[in-house]
Amino acid sequence: KNEVEQSPQNLTAQEGEFITINCSYSVGISALHWLQQHPGGGIVSLFMLSSGKKKHGRLIATINIQEKHSSLHITASHPRDSAVYICAVARAGNQFYFGTGTSLTVIP
């Protein structure tokens, strides 16, 4: 069993739709990271969370420490949001565990 589980694995949405990607983890963490990987491989850090909620533009990330669960939301999705979204958790000592990613395709 992976320490980090993401769902769904693949997601196709129409432009403008509200999108939710979920991440559940089974280990104690010091922080949770949402990453975005575009075709071509470049990785960008979207959010780092240790509690609560963060918002950046059309992106919102939430975390529930008690339930060991985080969600990434994209409002008013756009084709340029098409990418793989990866959840990563950091443990004490900076050990990292990664989800397998959610491949998002937004259709115009």
Q: What pairs with residue 95 in β-bridges?
A: none
CB of 70 to another protein, least distance (A): 15
65-84 binders of another protein (CB under 8 A) = none
Q: Which of 48, 58, 60, 65 touches another protein by CB under 8 A?
A: 48
- Going by C-alpha positions, the residue among 94, 88, 101 that lies closest to residue 34 is 88
At a CB cut-off of 8 Å and minimum separation 6, what does 84 contact?
36, 37, 38, 101, 102, 103, 104
Contact string 6-45 vs another protein (x = CB under 8 A):
------------------------xx-x-x-----xxxxx
Residues engaged in binding another protein (CB under 8 A): 30-31, 33, 35, 41-45, 48, 50, 86, 88, 90, 93-101
